[in-house]
Structure formats: structure tokens, C-alpha cells
Amino acid sequence: MSFRTLDLNLLRVFDQVMAEQNLTRAAERLAMTQPAVSNALKRLREALGDDLVVRTAFGVKPTPRAEALWPDVRSALARLREAIDPTVFDPETSEASFRLAMADATAATLMPPLVADIEQQRALVNVRVLPLTTRDPRMLLEHGEVDFAIGYFPDAVAALSSQGVNATLHHERLWDDEYVCVMRKGHPLAEGELTLDAFCTAHHLLVSFSGRAHGFVDQALAALNRTRRIVLTVNQFFTAGRVVTHSDLLTVLPRQFVPATGMARELAIQPLPLALQGVHVEVLWHQRHDRDPAHRWMREHVFAAAARRPQTLLASAS
């Protein structure tokens, strides 16, 4: 491959295909036909000597070479856009696409006011909420798999804070919360004081994005030389609410997320009988997007939505 003869427009097509992982949607975003997108990918494959993407039942899947290349391509294109057109982002004419990784309860809390803002401004932007599968989303952001990660990421935030100005990721706190013990109403432990002995003797449900049957509560219990019996591990707060409502399992959730289970009226909340660090919900993004007008626009609306998240949810969680 000779860079001097490479058609740089092919990189724009590659960037959009990687973002959408679907040729039809990428063609729509680029205002091209699908055959034209396929032809552009073919030319780029020939230039790079790699398949770049392979077809699947649901779209296309990037090759390892494509995944390694995409962050640099996306960053370079963003810098070029900013240099050529540094104007203020116009949401009514731009069809920018944003990928937000977050848990189901975070989305239920944040998305209603965010969508209301987008609709009020008649914005043409497209927002996709992706499932969060890790407590440390740094690699997702570094590899350009998502534009924002929103949630409680204590290890990632601590690492970024220690790096200071050398950090390649930025973060901003959206709100604070606390962990509580949640069970069905009428549960034997729903009334009176919940003791540590009773908590450890009971059977538990754990919400774990990674699937590991060990979490913050278990770390805190280990420091006290105590353990608990985890019967079930799930990866959604909504699922946790449904299961706990119809069983004698206990679970530990952020207080403000209880309404997002959809079962708040059927659940009882007890203070935890052990000390846990508070929950700090943060938004993380890569510095390659920091000065991009579209990305700044979305960040501002994420901040505003966090400040305006439904007060009815907060009241019912109190």
C-alpha cells in the first residue's frame, strides 16, 4: 500500500461502517448506496491487505486489524473535521450518532430527560444505548467501541485521577448515591433492624455486569471475615427487582436505582449492616472527542439530563 495514492474518502466509509457495524445503516449515514459502500470497503481491503469486516446475520463484525486501526482513523477524522469546520454544532441539521454504554437502571434514570431535550431541540442525532458488561470501561473508550460510558467505575476513575493531565480519558461526576439492601415487602427481614448476622445468613442475588459472582459487598464482608450465600447472579437491575419481588432473596442496589426495577411498590429497603463506599455515577469519554462540537453538545445534554432526572423516581426511592 502507498499512502500517497490512498483515497482518504475510503477512511470515512470505514469509520461509519465500524460505528454502525451494518452496511445499510452506514450507507444511510453517508448518503450513499449500499453497493457504493461495499465497493469502497473492497477498495480499502485491497489497499490494506485485510478483510476489515466479515458479514454476520446481524450486520458485519470487524477483524482484529480493523479494531486496531479504527481508533486512530476516528481520531484523525475528528481532528480534520474540527480544523476544516470549527463552527458550532447544529443539532437540527447534523445526523451525528452517539453510543452510550450504561446499565439498564442508569438508562431508565437518565434517558427520559435526555430524550426530552433531544426532541425539544428537534435534533437529528441518533443515540444508541449499549449494555454495560464491565466495571472498567477504559478499553471500550480507548478502542472507540463507545463514545460515552456512564456508571459507577471506582477503579477506572481512581486510575485516571492518579494520571492527572497525562490521562487519555476524561470523567465528570453526574450524581451521588448509596447502596441499600432490597427485598420483597413481607420478607421476614423487612421489619426491624437488619443485623449483620441476619444479612450473612440470608440468601442473596448479585447484580454483576461481568458475570463474576463476587462484588463490592463481598469485598467488604471479607474484610470483616464474613461471607454470604449468593444463589443467583444477574446482569440487570430490572431482572434483580423481578426475582427479589417473587422470592426470599436479598439484593444490594443503589438507592436511586430501586424505582428503575419497575417493582418499587413491592420492594422494601433496609440500611446495610456494613459500611460501603458511596456510589458515584460518572460519565467517561476519550480525549480525542474532547473538542469535537457534536461531542461537546451531547456531553452538555448528558449533564443537564442528570440534573433533571425524574424527581418522582428519587422520591419513591427515599
Is residue 312 predicted with pLDDT exceeding 60?
Answer: no
> What's residue 316's pLDDT?
42
Is residue 122 predicted with pLDDT exceeding 70?
Answer: yes
How sure is the predictor about 153, in pLDDT bands with cuts at 50, 70 and 90? very high
Pairwise CA distance, residues 248 & 93, whole Å: 52
Given CATH 3.40.190.10, say whether it is the number of domain 179-277. yes
For the 3-84 domain, the top CATH level (class) is mainly alpha
> What's residue 313's pLDDT?
45
> What's residue 87's pLDDT?
64
How sure is the predictor about 28, in pLDDT bands with cuts at 50, 70 and 90? confident
Mean pLDDT (the chain, rounded): 89
Fold of 97-176+280-316: D-Maltodextrin-Binding Protein; domain 2 (3.40.190)
Pairwise CA distance, residues 150 & 253, whole Å: 16
The domains of the chain are located at: 3-84, 97-176+280-316, 179-277
Is residue 130 predicted with pLDDT exceeding 70?
Answer: yes
How sure is the predictor about 310, in pLDDT bands with cuts at 50, 70 and 90? low
> What's residue 177's pLDDT?
93
> What's residue 302's pLDDT?
96
> What's residue 224's pLDDT?
96
> What's residue 289's pLDDT?
87
Mean pLDDT of 226-245: 94
Cβ neighbours, 10 Å, residue 7: 12
Q: Pick the most confident of 10-19, 28-37, 192-201, 284-293.
A: 192-201
> What's residue 213's pLDDT?
84
Cβ neighbours, 10 Å, residue 134: 15
Q: What are the contacts of 153-162 at 24+ separation with CB within 8 A?
A: 153/282, 153/284, 154/277, 154/280, 156/284, 157/280, 157/282, 157/284, 160/284
End-to-end CA distance of the chain: 62
267-305 pLDDT, tens digit per residue, is: 999 999 999 988 999 999 999 888 888 899 999 999 999
Crossing angle of helices 9-20 and 34-48, rounded to 10°: 110
Q: Is it true that 3-84 and 179-277 share their CATH fold?
A: no
Mean pLDDT of 189-194: 96
How sure is the predictor about 21, in pLDDT bands with cuts at 50, 70 and 90? confident
How sure is the predictor about 86, in pLDDT bands with cuts at 50, 70 and 90? low
Is residue 2 predicted with pLDDT exceeding 80?
Answer: no
> What's residue 5's pLDDT?
78
How sure is the predictor about 315, in pLDDT bands with cuts at 50, 70 and 90? very low
Is residue 96 predicted with pLDDT exceeding 80?
Answer: yes
